[in-house]
């Protein structure tokens, strides 16, 4: 018994706990499973537990509602059928029960608080040790052997840890007895199943050679992995495979192939994702210059300047010292390198996917498809989920489409997983990610004194589930599909051609034809990719309904991100504290930042009469929009290249508009004309624009994205107020990206509307707008600059606050009311501060009087600012009282 006690001690048990477990369970594996479930945590003795050098050990921790029951009910077949069976509850308790602190309670919703909570935290100790290197004669290779620490790495679930440990121990050592009882045995070696070859295909070939063994005593054929006989008689199932593939004989093979294969995949993914050192060094050298001199580049992951919307940035205007051009050399080479990396990862994903449990595989289900190993879900949750979450967090649908060789395979994986009842629940489980590393200690190995072992104490935290991450991409895909529709009217039944039309031909020779075909191909590529994403999301939901039921899917959908169609029915309570107000504001703003709406103005009969020779269906509508005439001129147009650019733009905008308590951007897009857009930007904190609402009309013209969008500033007090040297009273917006200001300009195919909006938010609505005039750029902190900002604050209260509330601009009426209601307490304090620091001078419409040498007569309290502040406070009180 002492040998078994020592085994349990090496797993982290104390000797007393080990003996108690073995007294109750004769089998050491069953005892280990119960120990990992915490059944013997209450037993203590004087001895310190011996640290294992080859596995991740769990620290004792309190039970939680979603404690370590990560296995699906159909995947976990608890072999222990004694009276303790009731202490173990898996994730999917179909009878509506769940285990909480070893007690079973009944809940109306069987999935409440389990799958959809991201509040979980699990602390574990993971061990790293040097792997053993051996020679594999069959393939003439020296390879590393996977250590037990590597095999267990990344698993914070106690139940899953016990299954992983059990499989590793069974296949890395000990005798495999002949199942016929002749007394002959075959020695299992760690190199049989845990050798890490350079290629996954080599590993599979190696397994094929050793998986089937012939007994030297009785010549019976048996499986080295499970020790069972290989029977020529196949299980008779309607969908069962008729072939006899040795690698699908048992669930043990499935568990080890997925474990080793996904470990190799994870390693390759990490290696391919790492940036070359020279690139990092180059970015480090250029980051400072680009941060100060360039317009925001959202394609650069290091471009963080646009996030600084609090106004606490370096003093200086947005004038540029000479024209700068972006260096695009090496872009095609980088794309080719990325494609090669994606293809390599995609091919490995495809090769491993063959061994996923799949009852619908071509040729019929194999034995391991029906009998899923308990470690299968553990492998997927800790290794595949890492890759899945990294790829699905990509904010660029266009980039995903360009990397379709990898993303199509990823979607195939998600569908395959959701199709099997033993794995489907994983789609709704929060992904456990490393939240922090609390401690790292090193010590000598007791097995190999020359080797050092590192123990890391890691805290794992819940994050978005695979289905939730996919939904964010599906929202982008839906927006892109809407963009690809362009501004064409709904398709009508094709009309029969006349004989003359049939005889007509169109000369499509030359360069124009080639360009049209190329653009159309790009459009079709993005179209196919978007449809594939939506089809995958629907297939997953359909499978979950079949395997888990309607209640499961309904609960899942309630937690998914949504693109709301109307903000009018959303009521948000600010609460009683500043913290509750901020949380409510951010939650609300995330829900309403992007919406489709109707921006048209009904056409009158008189206007229809003016449209000579046209019927009602062909009359282009008018829009509540500065660029109404330009939009009407493009009615019914079909410009494929423009449609593609708009599709990519909408995909970015739906999920990437910045939202914060300090400043946010809201967008409204016409539901039938996606090139007709209105924007609202709230002024950033620390600037004289803070909490004001600034509106812009935006039109994506006929040559978009070859040329920038048209942008008009609309919050001008009827064309009277110039809020900034770069925001004219007539609505002109001076910005280099728009070609209306010096500096880095629009880059065809790369620049985006989101860059324009963020540039306005962070570079124009700045803390010292006086400096935006090139001639005044060196006057930071001067009396003239302070006076200019005070003048802006007075205009903001009168127009960007009071003016917008008195005459709510369509379609942002609800957004403006809710913005001021949720921030009422904060804005009152802000107004008091602004009034206290006002210089008492009269408001100058264009701010020109505050320039160098400008003269402005003192106005004392006669400038009307105090009256505007009091009126604004009264309106805030009314908004709070009405709750709307």
What span, in angstroms and rounded, lies between the C-alpha atoms of 483 and 311? 34
Work out whether strand 665-670 and strand 594-597 pair parallel, antiparallel, or are unpaired: parallel
Q: Are 530 and 477 contacting, i.e. CB atoms less than 8 angstroms apart?
A: yes
Nearest to 36 by CA among 26, 48, 28: 28
Q: Which of 668, 485, 654, 477 is nearest to 563 (CA)?
A: 654
User: 386: helix, coil or strand?
Assistant: helix
- Helix H segments across 635-691? 640-656
Single out the catalytic residue among 155, 176, 734, 766: 734
Half-sphere exposure for 638 (CA within 13 Å, toward CB): 9
Instruction: Give start and end residues of each alpha helix (H) in 176-321.
Output: 190-193, 200-210, 251-273, 277-293
Token digits of residue 212: 């089937």
Find out whether 361 and 239 touch, Cβ atoms under 8 Å.
no
For residue 185, list its beta bridge partners: 177
Residues 6+ apart with CB under 8 A from 360: 239, 419
Phi and psi at residue 285, to the nearest 5°: -70, -35
**Helix 404-418 and helix 511-548: axis angle, to 10°?**
20
Cα 66–chain centre separation:
23
Asked if the peptide bond before residue 870 counts as cis, ω within 30 degrees of 0, the response is no
CB 421 within 8 A of CB 358: no
Read off the DSSP letter of residue 432. Answer: E
Q: Do the beta carbons of residue 9 and residue 28 sit within 8 Å?
A: no
E strands present in 525-609: 594-597, 600-601
734 is a catalytic site residue: yes
Helices (H), 572-722: 578-592, 605-610, 628-633, 640-656
Instruction: Assign 3-state DSSP to the chain and report helix, strand, coil percentages, each to 5.
Output: 45, 10, 45
**Spatial CB neighbours of 514, under 8 Å, sequence gap ≥ 6:** none
The SS3 of residue 564 is: coil
Do residues 348 and 120 touch, judged by C-beta distance below 8 A? no
d(CA 362, CA 589): 47
Question: What is the C-alpha separation between 488 and 15, in angstroms, rounded?
Answer: 76
Angle between helices 865-882 and 813-822 (to 10 degrees): 100
Question: Distances from the Cα of 778 to the Cαs of 180, 266, 357, 511, 793, in angstroms?
Answer: 92, 53, 68, 51, 22
* Nearest alpha-carbon partner for 64 in 460, 469, 561: 460
> Alpha-carbon distance 68 to 53, whole Å?
23
Tokens of 355: 């061994």
On whether the CB atoms of residues 426 and 116 are closer than 8 A, the answer is no
Placement of tokens 């016990």 in the chain: 162
d(CA 602, CA 607): 10
Tokens 């264009």, located at residue:
846
Q: At which residue do the structure tokens 């913005």 appear? A: 819
Q: What are phi and psi of 480, to 5 degrees?
A: -65, -40
**C-beta atoms surrounding 444 within 10 Å:** 12
Closest CA to 251 of 375, 362, 350, 384: 375
Measured in whole angstroms, the distance separating CA 465 from the mean position of its chain's CA atoms is 10
The residues annotated with a catalytic role in the active site are 734
């Amino acid at each position: 018994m002492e040998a078994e006690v020592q085994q349990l001690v090496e797993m982290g048990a104390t000797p007393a706990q080990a003996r108690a477990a073995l007294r109750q369970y004769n089998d050491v594996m069953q005892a280990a499973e119960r120990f990992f479930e915490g059944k013997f945590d209450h037993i203590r003795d004087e001895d310190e537990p011996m640290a294992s050098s080859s596995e991740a050990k769990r620290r004792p921790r309190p039970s939680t509602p979603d404690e370590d029951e990560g296995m699906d009910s159909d995947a976990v077949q608890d072999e222990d059928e004694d009276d303790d069976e009731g202490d173990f509850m898996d994730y999917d308790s179909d009878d509506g029960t769940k285990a909480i602190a070893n007690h079973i309670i009944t809940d109306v919703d069987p999935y409440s608080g389990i799958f959809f909570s991201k509040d979980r935290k699990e602390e574990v100790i993971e061990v790293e040790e040097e792997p053993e290197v051996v020679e594999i004669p069959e393939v003439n290779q020296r390879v590393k052997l996977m250590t037990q620490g590597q095999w267990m790495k990344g698993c914070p679930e106690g139940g899953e840890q016990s299954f992983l440990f059990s499989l590793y121990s069974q296949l890395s050592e000990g005798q495999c007895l002949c199942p016929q009882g002749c007394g002959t045995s075959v020695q299992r070696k760690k190199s049989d199943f845990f050798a890490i070859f350079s290629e996954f295909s080599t590993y599979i070939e190696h397994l094929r050679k050793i998986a089937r063994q012939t007994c030297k005593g009785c010549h019976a054929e048996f499986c080295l992995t499970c020790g069972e006989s290989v029977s020529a008689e196949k299980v008779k199932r309607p969908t069962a495979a008729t072939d006899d593939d040795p690698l699908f004989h048992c669930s043990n093979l499935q568990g080890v192939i997925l474990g080793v294969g996904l470990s190799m995949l994870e390693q390759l993914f990490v290696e391919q994702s790492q940036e070359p050192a020279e690139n990092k060094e180059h970015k480090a050298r250029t980051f400072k210059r680009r941060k100060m001199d360039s317009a925001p580049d959202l394609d650069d992951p290091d471009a963080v300047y646009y996030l600084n919307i609090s106004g606490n940035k370096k003093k200086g205007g947005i004038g540029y010292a000479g024209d700068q051009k972006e260096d695009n050399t090496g872009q095609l080479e980088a794309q080719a390198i990325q494609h090669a990396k994606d293809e390599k990862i995609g091919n490995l994903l495809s090769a491993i996917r063959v061994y996923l449990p799949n009852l619908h595989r071509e040729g019929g289900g194999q034995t391991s498809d029906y009998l899923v190993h308990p470690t299968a879900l553990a492998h997927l949750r800790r290794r595949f989920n890492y890759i899945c979450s990294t790829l699905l967090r990509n904010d660029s649908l266009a980039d995903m489409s360009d990397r379709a060789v990898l993303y199509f395979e990823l979607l195939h994986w998600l569908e395959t997983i959701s199709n099997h009842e033993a794995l489907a629940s994983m789609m709704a489980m929060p992904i456990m990610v490393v939240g922090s590393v609390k401690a790292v200690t090193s010590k000598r190995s007791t097995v190999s004194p020359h080797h050092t072992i590192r123990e890391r104490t890691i805290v794992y935290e819940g994050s978005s589930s695979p289905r939730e991450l996919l939904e964010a991409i599906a929202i982008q895909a839906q927006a892109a599909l809407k963009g690809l529709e362009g501004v064409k009217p709904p398709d009508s039944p094709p009309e029969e051609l006349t004989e003359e039309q049939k005889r007509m031909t169109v000369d499509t020779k030359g360069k124009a034809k080639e360009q049209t075909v190329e653009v159309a191909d790009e459009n079709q590529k993005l179209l196919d990719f978007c449809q594939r994403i939506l089809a995958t999301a629907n297939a997953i939901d359909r499978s979950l309904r079949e395997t888990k039921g309607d209640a499961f899917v309904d609960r899942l959908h309630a937690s998914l991100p949504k693109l709301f169609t109307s903000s009018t029915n959303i009521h948000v309570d600010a609460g009683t504290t500043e913290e509750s107000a901020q949380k409510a504001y951010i939650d609300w703003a995330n829900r309403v930042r992007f919406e489709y709406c109707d921006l048209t103005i009904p056409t009158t009969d008189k206007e229809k009469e003016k449209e000579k020779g046209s019927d009602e269906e062909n009359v282009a509508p008018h829009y509540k929009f500065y660029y109404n005439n330009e939009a009407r001129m493009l009615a019914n147009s079909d410009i494929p290249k423009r449609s593609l650019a708009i599709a990519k733009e909408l995909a970015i905008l739906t999920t990437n508009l910045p939202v914060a308590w300090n400043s946010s951007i809201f967008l409204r897009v016409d539901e039938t004309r996606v090139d007709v857009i209105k924007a609202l930007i709230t002024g950033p904190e620390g600037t004289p624009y803070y909490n004001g609402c600034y509106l812009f009309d935006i039109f994506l013209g006929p040559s978009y994205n070859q040329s920038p969008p048209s942008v008009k500033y609309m919050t001008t007090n009827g064309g009277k107020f110039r809020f900034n040297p770069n925001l004219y009273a007539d609505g002109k917006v001076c910005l280099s990206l728009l070609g209306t200001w010096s500096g880095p300009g629009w880059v065809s195919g790369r620049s985006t509307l989101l860059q324009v909006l963020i540039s306005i938010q962070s570079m124009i609505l700045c803390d010292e707008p006086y400096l935006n005039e090139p001639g005044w750029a060196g006057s930071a902190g001067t009396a003239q600059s302070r006076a200019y900002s005070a003048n802006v604050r007075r205009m903001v209260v009168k127009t960007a606050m009071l003016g917008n509330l008195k005459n709510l601009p369509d379609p942002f009426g609800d957004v403006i009311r809710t913005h001021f209601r949720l921030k009422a307490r904060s804005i009152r304090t802000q107004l008091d501060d602004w009034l206290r620091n006002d210089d008492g001078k009269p408001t100058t419409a264009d701010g020109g009087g505050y320039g160098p040498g400008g003269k402005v007569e003192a106005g004392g309290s006669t400038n009307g600012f105090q009256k505007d502040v009091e009126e604004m406070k009264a309106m805030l009180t009314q908004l709070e009282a009405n709750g709307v």
